[in-house]
Every structure is written in structure tokens, then in C-alpha cells.
Chains A and B, each alone.
Chain A
Amino acid sequence: MSEPIEDLLRRVAPQVLGVLVRRYGDFAAAEDAVQEALIVAAEHWTRDGVPEHPHAWLIRTATRKLVDEHRAAAARRRREENVALEPPAAPVPDADDTLRLLVLCCHPVLSPASAVALTLRAVGGLTTGEIASAFLVSETTMGTRISRAKAKVAEAGAQFELPEPDERGRRVQAVLRVLYVMFTEAHTSSGGAGLQRVDLAAEAIRLTRLLRTALPDDPEVMGLLALQLLTDARRPARTGPDGELVPLAEQDRTRWDRAAIVEGIGLAVTARRAGVVGEYQLQASIAAVHDAAPTAADTDWAQIRTLYELLERVTENPVVTLNRAVAVAMTDGPEAGLALLDEVAPKLVGHHRLDAVRAHLLEEAGEPEAAARHYAAAAARALNVPEQQYLTMRAARLRTR
């Protein structure tokens, strides 16, 4: 079976954009032209079939759009002569174009939310309408947001060239952060159930794979891809029939995606062998330990605890300490976990997860009343409906049993 048109378009979109930016320099205008060309292609190809050379077809169409826009702009400025576009150079298919585009779209001057939107459009080949629906805003709003992001990148003087090697690592980190945010957005967004939405988790995985083709040996790129695969593998078991949250320990593990787990564990292992410890690899390793356990009771908590200790050192994030407290409770008993919570509590005042974890450990410690109180407190500060209902339900069960 041939590749669906939508997948084909999304796959070649960054290549086409890379060629145009390389030839004509203007990222913002080239990006608009490619977006228009993609919309035209979707319509024509569905009707008339995919052309023999889809890549060349898109470059031609996008170039025409770009030229038209330059002429219109020139006319608007009442110039007599058209802006001369350089004659197209020979196509330079460049594997690094994808990396250049990602680095450009994930520019540090952008907020993560803006970078996610721009990346989905320029590198992901999604339409503004699709991105808008993924974030539950109108198409006009999303279009404006993307235009502003492009203007901001241009103002920052960003070039379509990779930064110097000493700067490059930091910029790749920024790309990883944006792809991480894109992925987590899929799990935490407040969108209503049953709405037709772009699968942000799948898009993030696809784009991270793309990044990996440009940086095949980078352990953090491998780590992030592994983390996404190992987390997404549990998606079918994570929610019940009414969208209610099913915690890890109660999930039906036969519903986990085995192929994704195998690939994720392989990547996590390869990344760890590189010997450079990073945030994403460590998170991936933790996910791998969970995913490798045939039942919740088989989980190797001692190993998870060690990994959280390492992650805590790398990130210095108090939320990591919360997770370590759960692992400590599993190896040394709930009281040890609760003692660790007391230590970290001052850094997490008002954070609903502190109450949620405390409630869980109090429940384990055989203190249902205190546990219910903390579940209710966590529910009062929850940020999404499934989590709020889950926490409220836990409190209710403890109080009425």
C-alpha cells in the first residue's frame, strides 16, 4: 500500500522548506509559501493522484507562491520593478536541513508554547487549523501566534545556519525541551473527551525520530525518543471507558504496546552506554524499569530509587524528590517516604502533587482519615478534570469504606 497523502506531505514538508530557505533566505515568507503549497497539494493530489515527483512538485508550487507574494509585496510598496529572486540553485537535499529548521523554530527567544506551534507547522507540516484544534483555540488565533513567533525569531537575527559547536549543544537542548513539552501537552491538555484532535504525542514522537536522523548518536535525543515511546506505550491502559485515570499500579499491562516498549528499552540501553548522563535518558530508564515489569508487584523499586537519585542531581527539581519519595516508600516502607516528603515540602508549598503523594503514602501507612484529607486537598488544587475526579474518588473511597 502506498503512503497516505497526509503522511507523505508531512514527511516532505521540512525538506521542501529547507530548500526554499536555502535558496531565498527569508524563513518567514518561505514558511508561509510551503504552508500554502501543502494545502494546494492536499487538494490536488487527493483529486488527481500523487505526482511522479511530489518533492519537486511542492518546491515548484511553493516557489511560485513565494514569488507571487514578493511581487504583491513589491506592488504594495509601489515599486516599479519586481523584487528579483535569485535563480533557483540546484536542489541540495541536505539531511541537516531538518536540524537547522528545528533549531530555528525552537529558538530560545520563543516561549515553549510558541515554539511548539511553530515547529508543528514548519517542521511537522501540519496546517494552522490542525494545530489550532490541538490547542483548542481558533484558527485565526493560532495563525497570529505563529506569525508573531516567526517575527520574533527574525528580530532575534536567527540564521538558517547551525550555531557554532560551543553553542550548538545548548540549542539542541532547547529543541529537546520543545519536543518534550509537545509530548507532555498530549497527556495533560484540558481538551474534552471525544473531540477530534491532532495526536500531539504521535507528532512529538515523529519529530523526535526526525531529529534523530540528523543526530543519530546523541544520547539525549535517544533518551527523549525512548521516554516518549515508553510512556506512550501505556496510553491504551491509562484511561478507563469514561476517560477516568487508571494509575500505573492498576493498569492492565496486557494493553501496553509491546513493540513500542521493546524499541524504547533498546534505545534507553544504547543511550546509557554512551556514558553521558542526561535528564531524558534517566527518565527513559525509569520508564523502562516500569514497562519491563510484568506486574506492578514485580517492579524493581530499588533501581528506580537509584535512578531518581541521579535525576535529582542532574535536574535539582523538587518534583523529582516527590517521585523518589514514592520509590523510597516502596523499598523502605511508607514512613521513610513520608520523612523525605517533610524534607522537600517547603520547596513545594501549594503544589497539588505534594498532597497527592502524601495521601498515597498515608494510605499505604494505614492512616485512611489523614490520607483522605490529603487526597481532597490535592483534588482542590488539581489542574485537570480526570486527575481531580481521580483524587476526589480516592478520598471518597477511603471515607466510606
Chain B
Amino acid sequence: MTRFMILTKYDGSVDVPPMSEWDPADMEAHLECLRSLNAELVANGELVEMNALTGPDLAKIVTADGAGAPVVTDGPFPEAKELLAGYQMVDVETEERALEIAAAVSAAPGPGGKPLGQHIEVRQVMFTFSADV
């Protein structure tokens, strides 16, 4: 089994309005699609963990030179689309399976039921540290 991190960003690659402007039924369908995907990953024993992050408005970027006080920049950021929205850590048999999961996330329905086609990043994990290991 191999671990992959499947990352979803605030994606500028798709031209759709924010979810708060969708038809409520479309939003419901989108959420239901992701819910059932995650339920499937849990049932298969493939989901290690999943984290959804609070929005870019709440993001802070910290830079420190080690000497002076750190510089903390508050959101919102103009380059918000580069920020992470959340990720799923999966432990799967093959890379193909990880790509298949990412494809399912990408094809989650958007406005009018049309697949969103978001860019989903798939990264194989090289090293894991957990406080339990």
C-alpha cells in the first residue's frame, strides 16, 4: 500500500461563481457527491485522514528572519487560488487508484450538474511522522 495526498486548492482553473451563488440543489448535489466518495474510501479502508481547512480569509502568512519580530500577513490574499482548501490522505494499492480518486473529486458536479473539472494535486508521500508511530 502507498500513501498519497490528494489536495484541493482554491482553484482559479475553473470559471464558476463561488458556491454561495449556486442553485441550492446544485450545492446539495456537489456535497452529496463528496460525502459518498468519502464514505466509499472509508468503507474500502483507503482513507487515512481528511482535513478541510477554514477559508482563505482566515489564513495568515508568517515570515521570520530569525532576528526581528516575525511578519504576519492576514488574509484575504489576492493569490487566494494558490491556497489549500483541504486534503485527503489515502493509502491505496496503486497510483492508478489514487488518480481515480482524484478524478472523482475533480468531476464533482458544479452549477447545472456539470462536472467542475478542478485541478486536483496528487502527491505520493515520502515520509510520515505521527505521534503514535
Contact = CB atoms under 8 A, between A and B. Distances in A.
B54 A383 contact: yes
Interface stretch (B18-26, B64-72, B94-102, B116-124): B18-26
A393 B23 CA distance: 9
Contacts of A399: 20-21
Contacts of A192: 50
A111 to B, nearest CB: 19
A396 B131 contact: no
B18 A376 contact: yes
Nearest to A140: B131
B126 to A, nearest CB: 21
Interface residues of B, number: 21
Contacts of B35: 242
Contact of A395 (B20, B31, B52, B56): B20
A396 B50 contact: no
Contact of A396 (B24, B55, B56, B57): B24
A385 interface: yes
Contacts, number: 57
A265 B56 CA distance: 42
Contact of B131 (A138, A242, A400): A138
A20 B27 CA distance: 57
A231 interface: no
Contacts of B22: 396, 400
Nearest to B132: A138
Nearest to A399: B21
A137 B57 CA distance: 26
A379 interface: yes
A393 B24 contact: yes
A379 B131 contact: no
Interface residues of A, number: 27
A144 B132 CA distance: 11
Contact of A389 (B21, B31, B130, B132): B31
Interface string A377-401: 0011111010011011101110110
A372 interface: yes
Contacts of A381: 54-55, 57-58
Nearest to A398: B20
Contact of B55 (A137, A141, A382): A382
A350 to B, nearest CB: 8
Contacts of B19: 392, 396
B132 A379 contact: no
B21 to A, nearest CB: 5
A340 B100 CA distance: 52
Interface string B34-55: 0100000000000000101011
Contacts of B21: 376, 395-396, 399-400
A381 B57 CA distance: 6
A375 interface: yes
Interface in A268-300: none
A107 to B, nearest CB: 25
B55 to A, nearest CB: 4
B6 to A, nearest CB: 16
Nearest first, the 5 A-B pairs at minimum CB distance are: A395-B20, A376-B20, A138-B132, A141-B131, A380-B55
